[in-house]
Structure 1
Amino acid sequence: MQPDNTQHARTMLWRIAQKEISLFFASPVSYLFLGGFLAVVLFMFFWGEAFFARNIADVRPLFNAMPLLLIFLASSLTMRQWSEERRSGTLEHVLTQSTPLWQFVLGKFIGCSLLLLLALLLTLPLPFTVSMLGELDWGPVWAGYLATLLLGMLYLAIGLYASARSDNPIVALLLAVLLCGVFYLVGSNVITSLFGQNISQWLSLVSTSGRFDAISRGMLDARDLLYFVSLTLVFLTLNCWALERGRWSEQRSNTAKRWQWAASLMIVNALALNLWLGQLSALRFDSTAGQQFTLSEASKQQLAQLQEPLLLRGYFSSKTHPLLAPLVPQLSDLLREYEIAGKGRIKLELVDPLSSAEAEKQANQEFGIEPVPFQVADRYQSSIVSSYFNVLVQYGSEYKVLGFRDLIEVKSGGEAELNVQLRNPELDITRTIRSVMQGYQAGGELFAAVNKPLTFTAYLSDSSKLPAQLQQFAADINSVLDKLANEAGDKLQRQTLDPDANGGELAQQLANDYGISPLVTGLLDPNPFYFHLLLGDGEQLVQIPLDDFSADSFERNFSAAVKRFASGYRKTVALVAPAANPYGGGVSFSQLQQYLGDELNVKTEDLSDGSVASDADILLLAAPDKLDDKALFAVDQFLMQGGTVLLASSPYSADFSGRSLNLKTVQSGLADWLAHHGINQQNTLVLDKQSAALPLPVTRDLGGFRVQEVRMLDYPYFIDVRQSGLNTEHPATAGLQQLTLSWASPLSIDSGKNSARKVTELIHSSGRAWLSDSTQVLPPLDHYGELSFTPEGELQSYLLGAVVEGEFSSYFAGKDSPLLAAANEAAADDANEDAAADEPTLNVSSVLSRSPSSARLIVLSSNDFISDTALQLSGAANGVQDIAALQLIANTLDWALDDAALTSIRARGQFNRTLMPMDEGSQQFWEYLNYGLALLLLAGLIVLQRSLQKRRQLAWLKQLAD
């Protein structure tokens, strides 16, 4: 095409597009149309998706309804484009023009696309609003708009084709809705649930909904982009072909044949190109912050250490629970990323055990993998579906199996609202790969490396409450233990307890101390029961998984649990924490121990002997209470040896005994020791207007009838620390989006004493915080039913966590060791009074007075923020387990142990970006503000359009006058 022809084509395209836009805005109906679109979008965002109740700082609610909404939007925009031309007789004028027909088709398409783009631009206030209410990841936002625009353009091409086939706009509308609906529904759960996994994946690849979801979550895949572009070109070509047929009845020209061939070749090439490109997975761009859907460098470095072939095998059933079905392709794609990054060292297999008896037999007998029963329901009946959702990681003779409980995260929005997502699959898989590699290298016999007797405890409900399979499984467990008892000798003891006995007293204790709750056979199973198998040595506890119910599988899982207590390559954390109260109440840290236990050996440390275990790599003190001189000496000397001491402590601690919330003072015994090192904790509490909610029982009086309900009330003692209060340069806090610190006290660092040491401030409250020394942490509710806290003094930011590195001088420098002093007192009582007076006195001191520069002291100024109770309360408001505090501890330990391999991926998750704390009035303000902005934008659009129209009229009149 010559340059002049190209310029002419561009001019014609713009004129045609401009004409269509002018015709659209010529009627007031256009503004009603745009207003209706905005009204539906805002309603779905704030009401349909319950944005504020959902409490996630993203715009997924905006895009969730777009695939369906765009069907009607695009069909309405295109219904009159060609049908009205055909009905009014102007189509013949178009067909007889010298201008190529494709320019008219493309011009109308461009005009409609610009109108679609305008409608999408009117929704931009929503993401900007979210960005002001939380830490919004803009990558998925722009990806979502791109996906919406591509999907809308495809629907517009389909609508134009439908309009070209009829002279009735209503018929064109229905035909367009039908065609677009087919492309949308073919990949929806309604259709895919009728088929197996393989067919479902193919249907998802054909459908617009599956491709749209892939792009809108932030992963720009060339295969998805090509899908939308190629289909759009196909339907535009079909549009030209449909119009050209009007000329054929009078003359069958070469042009008609060329369009017929072009349409056929376009369809064939689009199909071939999609099939060819579908085999490529490297042409992708992850637009999310932190590359959420791309394998991290940490995982690649772990894979580079493989010396033997690693097997990754995904066991996924073709028919599974509807909430798990969308997660299968996501997990499969991630496993393929591992295969590519392994560079030949990883063998990947995706297996449906239900389609192969041999594969299912191997899964059951060799790896102890059993299907999990789920209850599913459709319009006519409910049924039980047993399906697989497991990932096997095998390295040499070592293997581990991840089940759906290990891989998913459930966010509850009510009894009937469950949002199920993959929790952090890369962390889970990489951590498992690392674990099996360490286990393979450790090797050894089962009990050979076990130094302390182990106790196996089975917490089982009465057999009448157990499913039949578990009743037989309980008998198999005893048979296996009888066999292993001979090998273990006196290193293994066992007991069986019923948590439901004595009115459930043990069940309550298990919930308080270890976070153990009843099991169910489905996501919403109403018949819970206990079947928990625990192995412990008096210091740490390991729960044996129930991924199979056979004797062989139990023996394998039991052997794996025993290896957790044996020496290996795992680092050891000595945990000093209050002993669990057998009668309930008190502070427990079972979730912390379980979370850290996935990567480290966590050993409960007793400092009463004045020393820390020799195999401890790091010392963690959680809510220390009344440490005596011996315990303080142990902490001091561990630091002096160049170790790292991580302290989570403050002068106050919450007490939930007596079914009420009270605050008590705590004498940790470390105040003077910290002050010696230039770290001071004030005997006050920090309250912050930027706070999380606390579930509290509220009693309402309904005309003499009192009703008690649990409400989420803003609680200033739950300090909500956002990224502005977290040190983004330090590995311990860099990956965290937010953190809840409960009942924290302010820290101050003496710059004089720490002038030669490196001080890093990790955590700050917001600038709207104040101090209080009152222990009344639950004031009465005001007449609005809210907690009434009155700020005291100046509002400012307070330091809540810090790291001090360098050389420390011992608190006991120049003093006798408390251990030696006690020994000397005992020896003095037994001394011989007749001993020679001139006998020399032997003075022996074991005090290390100075530490090497590798010593580190980390102080987090809260007793309770990592306790089980605090984690449960802080997660209640979001409907999901709050593990940010546990991630902080794990990141800090990794950094202190110079092992930050998993730190960069630990904070990845689906529900880790939440909205800023707001009361109901603030939520209504932001909601109504968006309604007002929508009206303001529409009004501005009306003014702009009238202004442009007036300019065009003046220009036309001037042209006539000339």
Structure 2
Amino acid sequence: MGPDHVLTRVARKELQLFFSSPVAWLFLASFLAICLFVFFWVEAFFARNIADVRPLFEWMPLLLIFLCAALTMRSWSEERRSGTLEHVLTLPVPLWQFVMGKFVACTAILTLALTATLLLPLTVGRIATLDWGPVFAGYLATLLLGCSYLAVGLFVSSRTDNAIVSLMGSVALCGVLYMAGSELLLGFFGGNLAEFLRLTGSGSRFESITRGVLDLRDLYYYIAVTLAFLSLNVYALERGRWSQHSSARHRAWRLGISLVILNLVLAGLWLYKIPGLRTDVTEGKLYSLSEPSETLLSQLEEPLLIRGYFSERSHPLLAPLVPQLRDLLREYAVAGNGKVRVEFVDPAQDAAAEKEANEEYGIQATPFQVADRYQSALVNAYFNVLVQYGDEEEILGFSDFIEVKMAQSGQPDVLLRNPEFDVTRAIRDVLYSYRSSGELFDQINAPVTLRAYVSADSKLPEILVEYRDAIRAEAEALIPNSQSKFNIDFIEPEANNGEQAALIVEKWGFQPMVTALGDENQFYFYLTLEDDHQVIQLPTGRFDSSDFGDALEAGLRRFASGFTRTIALSLPASSQARQGMPPQGHSFGTLQQTISQDHSILMEDLDDGSVDSSADVLLVMAPEALSEQAVFAIDQYLMRGGTVIVASSPRSIETRGSALQLRQVDSGLSEWLAHYGVHIESTVVLDDRQAAFPVPVLRRVGEYEFREMQFVDYPYLLDIRDDGLNADHPITQGLPNLTVGWASPLSIEPRSGLSTEELLSSSDAAWTSEAVNVMPSLNDNGQNSFSGQGKSRERATVATVLSGEFTSFFNQVPDPSPRDEMDNGVADAASTALISKSPASSRLILVSSNDFASDQILSGVIAASGTQYFGPLEFLMNAVDWALQDSSLMSIRARAHFNRTLPALPQDTQASIEYGNYAGALLFLLLIYGVWRLQRRRRRSQLREILA
């Protein structure tokens, strides 16, 4: 009889005995019931509002202890009690075949139980965008963990003839393995001891795999535990064959088992020193280096230092994150090809290192409250990362790395938010800062030409002749040190019968200038910087040669890589203050803070009729009553080849007392946008695919009314996901979902020379409303007062991008204000210069919401979801990076763990999903029972034929 045949027969027999008793059905039913209860009740899946199945796996290390112990408690103890074990021991068959047969049978039952839970991830994937990588990893981790527990249970069962004793012993031994790495135990220890215990614990390894990282060290741990206890099981049975007297064979067995276990331990210690044997199966590679990070590291010319300051004793919720962060930082060292040095320091153990951290880098310890074996105390712990390149440095703290999601029970779920983004951004910042202190032309790849379209001396005013000579001399002074990457070209437009003049009017829209209003003497004075890919116009300002150097450097930086960009930001508060109007709740403090992390912010006052020459992108948020000069500033910035991002709508939310109302808003941009074929409707979009928001709700109970704050599904908050996000555009293709509040529909008929792409849109179940009162109320059934019944449902565009050759909205320059008059009484020639056409590199990005990325929206969504929410900020930062042709961070910006949220679902739909899973689990059990009955009937039929 072959070994495979024996193993198969033993496994088949165990399965038949198992399903012939109530134990099998009790095991499967209990397992499914507990899993569903934990998923929907304990972890409150719908209230948690995250599109993943982590609640299914979080309790598995503890749950499987009892279920696997119950599954194995009778495997050998029943054989020993009934006396059949003696028969097994006398057979001339190696005992490992019997052990493996029982193990395979138990593993098959466990696999069947896990298969029954597949309906949960299928359900989540049906209602939201599910990352299937962690799901696969979670099932693999559960199977491996279960196998190790089964091996423990089989070993314990082989040592006793009492099933209850086997059950208790298995629970105790598996519990020790679990507790060794649990936070409950590790909170009493610190340093290397806590790290060692974490490595020996079954639960801590399990958490590492279920987050989506398949580390060979973690996989080997479960395989090693399984092999060790299966070997001990064989040894325990083999001893039953021995006589009382020791022999060489007995000693050989003891030595062999000892060597097997010792080799398993040594192999684990050897693998521990190799951190690179891992693969990230999450979508977007959340826990490993992406291509942009590796590309950035390839640009290093000097050594880069990444030093982690981590205390041995820290908060119990932060301690498990330290190994994850260490592994990630080590990957930077590997990808750096010798240019990246990674160090880890515990300042509490090194007084010199702590002094250096405090005094030189300004790194201070953070106090955390922890409890040890003796008392509850405050511990000053470090959780910082230093990134240093040359003489530039940046410090990251736990607030940069950590994301907290509050569970329904009130307990925080602490994870690393997006560590690669933060570390890579820090590397980019120190690299760019270091480069900016060097030569400008080192960062310019293609030659750049300063092309000046300037009329002859006879046509130019005397002041401009002097200005031309001054800037020519200043530009020529750059040529010797430009590494052949800069040259100048002065062109007289009127030459050759005005051939160049006609060309620049047609191509760039450069209109003739005049020295004073009504003067018939016309001339040209335009400056451009050009390379093979883009053309930008240099502002001439007031034709002051002292300003030219700054304008030229700012323009050249647009062609260089590795410099901090400047974002001109126009906010509504300043314009309202000038008009004596009270603020209407539009604050953008979080947006300003986010921009300042990657770029320089320039608070732009558009009423002076121009945008600062150093601005790389113009961002206009919630404009209101813009003057003609302000619109002209936006128009001419776009004409100069810039990118303008506008968030605007004719309706804006405001709070009056405790009520929400929409007020009419005149942005001043309506006619300007209509010139390019863009119309923002005065209505507001509502959608059945909506987000929750904390709002004051009017609740009626009989004749009484109550006003209270509640989280309600609010159709004015569009939950944009899936087909609502343009998956083909770089700005939106990496975003999982986005919340846009009180948005108006866009209708777009782009003019000739312009192309348009839809970025954001509602679902097909959206409708519009002109209602002013937008405060929700709940009826007696708890249903929202807003309804789209009877409304025309259609998809609505709420964000778009236009690109191409824009034509100016203005046919002449607006009348200058008195402050624009020059001291000699002659009108500023710059104010009379009109650019009537833009280069093809100009872009206009429009979001039809005044509250897009406002603090009110962000704080409301954070309160409703229980975690940090950066969707609008990620959209705007992606738009800025796309405009600047800087894709280094776009693909990794939106990779935060909690970014995938559930769509808004009515309570009856949530109940249907929950009960549907209960029904599906019951049907699965009935299906298994039906298959087993069919198999049993077939075996009986075969037996009758044999007997006949």
Note whether the superposition's TM-score is higher than 0.5: yes
- How far off is 1:571 after superposition? 0.5
Superposed, 1:185-334 pairs within 5 Å as 185-249=179-243, 256-334=250-328
Partner of 1:816: 812
CA offset digits 1:46-104 (Å, max 9, x no partner): 11111111111101000000001111111111111111111111111101112221111
- How far off is 1:586 after superposition? 2.9
Q: d(CA) in 2 for partners of 1:255 and 1:120?
A: 42
Determine if the alignment matches structure 1 residue 735 to structure 2 residue 731. Answer: no
Q: Residue 388 of structure 2: SS of its match in structure 1? A: strand
Distance 1:931 1:434, change over 3 A: same
CA offset digits 1:345-400 (Å, max 9, x no partner): 11111111112222222222222222111223579853212111111112222222
**Partner amino acid for 2:676?**
H
Partner of 2:764: 767
Is 11-20 or 568-577 further displaced after alignment?
A: 568-577
Partner of 1:53: 47
Q: d(CA) in 2 for partners of 1:724 and 1:575?
A: 30
Partner of 1:849: 836
Partner of 1:627: 626
- How far off is 1:108 after superposition? 0.6
Partner of 2:853: 866
Partner of 1:806: 804
Partner of 1:77: 71
- How far off is 1:260 after superposition? 2.8
CA offset digits 1:101-139 (Å, max 9, x no partner): 111111110001001101111111111111122111000
Maintained 8 Å contact 2:697/2:776: no
Give 5+ residue unaligned stretches, structure 2: 439-560
Distance 1:843 1:575, change over 3 A: closer
Partner of 2:923: 936
Partner of 1:28: 22
- How far off is 1:702 after superposition? 8.1
**Partner amino acid for 1:265?**
L
Maintained 8 Å contact 2:695/2:775: no
Partner of 1:776: 773
Distance 1:79 1:415, change over 3 A: closer
**Partner amino acid for 1:783?**
D
Q: Residue 433 of structure 1: SS of its match in structure 2? A: helix
Q: d(CA) in 1 for partners of 2:708 and 2:658?
A: 15
- How far off is 1:166 after superposition? 1.1
Maintained 8 Å contact 2:698/2:776: no
Partner of 2:100: 106
Q: d(CA) in 2 for partners of 1:220 and 1:351?
A: 27
Q: d(CA) in 1 for partners of 2:17 and 2:617?
A: 73
- Match of residue 947, structure 1, among 934, 940, 944: 934
**Partner amino acid for 2:21?**
S
Determine if the alignment matches structure 1 residue 355 to structure 2 residue 345. Answer: no
Q: d(CA) in 1 for partners of 2:319 and 2:195?
A: 10
Q: Residue 918 of structure 1: SS of its match in structure 2? A: coil
Partner of 1:424: 418
Q: d(CA) in 2 for partners of 1:432 and 1:301?
A: 14
Q: Residue 897 of structure 2: SS of its match in structure 1? A: coil
CA offset digits 1:792-847 (Å, max 9, x no partner): 532121111111111111111xx221146x679999xx99xxxxxxxxxx999411
Partner of 1:787: 784
Partner of 2:548: none
Distance 1:67 1:690, change over 3 A: same
Partner of 1:506: none
Q: Residue 635 of structure 2: SS of its match in structure 1? A: helix
Give 5+ residue unaligned stretches, structure 1: 445-566, 832-841
Q: Residue 352 of structure 2: SS of its match in structure 1? A: helix
Q: Residue 194 of structure 2: SS of its match in structure 1? A: helix
Determine if the alignment matches structure 1 residue 182 to structure 2 residue 176. Answer: yes
Partner of 1:90: 84
- How far off is 1:710 after superposition? 2.2
CA offset digits 1:558-593 (Å, max 9, x no partner): xxxxxxxxx992101111111267876431111111
Partner of 2:878: 891
Partner of 1:958: 945
Q: d(CA) in 1 for partners of 2:620 and 2:699?
A: 42
Q: Residue 661 of structure 1: SS of its match in structure 2? A: strand
- How far off is 1:344 after superposition? 1.3
Distance 1:183 1:888, change over 3 A: same
Q: d(CA) in 1 for partners of 2:307 and 2:283?
A: 29
Maintained 8 Å contact 1:732/1:891: yes
Maintained 8 Å contact 1:244/1:256: no
- How far off is 1:918 after superposition? 1.1
**Partner amino acid for 1:774?**
A
Q: d(CA) in 2 for partners of 1:861 and 1:72?
A: 56
Superposed, 1:458-497 pairs within 5 Å as none
**Partner amino acid for 1:631?**
A
CA offset digits 1:229-277 (Å, max 9, x no partner): 1221111111111001011116867765553333122111111111112
Superposed, 1:486-565 pairs within 5 Å as none
Q: d(CA) in 1 for partners of 2:146 and 2:820?
A: 86
Partner of 2:5: 11
Superposed, 1:389-404 pairs within 5 Å as 389-404=383-398
- How far off is 1:699 after superposition? 6.0
Q: d(CA) in 2 for partners of 1:419 and 1:687?
A: 33
Determine if the alignment matches structure 1 residue 924 to structure 2 residue 924. Answer: no
Maintained 8 Å contact 1:67/1:209: yes
Aligned length: 816
Maintained 8 Å contact 1:193/1:322: yes
Distance 1:568 1:732, change over 3 A: closer
- Match of residue 166, structure 2, among 165, 168, 172: 172
Distance 1:675 1:733, change over 3 A: same
Task: State the Cα RMSD in Å.
Answer: 2.4
Maintained 8 Å contact 2:700/2:780: no
Partner of 1:470: none
- How far off is 1:609 after superposition? 1.4
Is 603-612 or 252-261 further displaced after alignment?
A: 252-261
- How far off is 1:28 after superposition? 2.6
With normalisation by structure 2, the TM-score equals: 0.83
Q: Residue 412 of structure 2: SS of its match in structure 1? A: strand
Partner of 1:876: 863
CA offset digits 1:680-734 (Å, max 9, x no partner): 2112111001000121234667899987642111111100001221011111001
Q: d(CA) in 2 for partners of 1:894 and 1:259?
A: 66
Is 144-153 or 265-274 further displaced after alignment?
A: 265-274
- How far off is 1:906 after superposition? 0.4
**Partner amino acid for 2:783?**
E
Partner of 1:720: 719
Partner of 2:504: none
Q: d(CA) in 2 for partners of 1:415 and 1:319?
A: 27
Determine if the alignment matches structure 1 residue 163 to structure 2 residue 157. Answer: yes
* Percent identical: 51
Distance 1:585 1:129, change over 3 A: same
**Partner amino acid for 1:874?**
V
Maintained 8 Å contact 1:687/1:719: yes
Distance 1:250 1:319, change over 3 A: closer
**Partner amino acid for 1:169?**
A
CA offset digits 1:299-326 (Å, max 9, x no partner): 1112222222121111111111122122
Determine if the alignment matches structure 1 residue 608 to structure 2 residue 607. Answer: yes
Maintained 8 Å contact 1:125/1:930: yes
Q: d(CA) in 2 for partners of 1:957 and 1:588?
A: 83
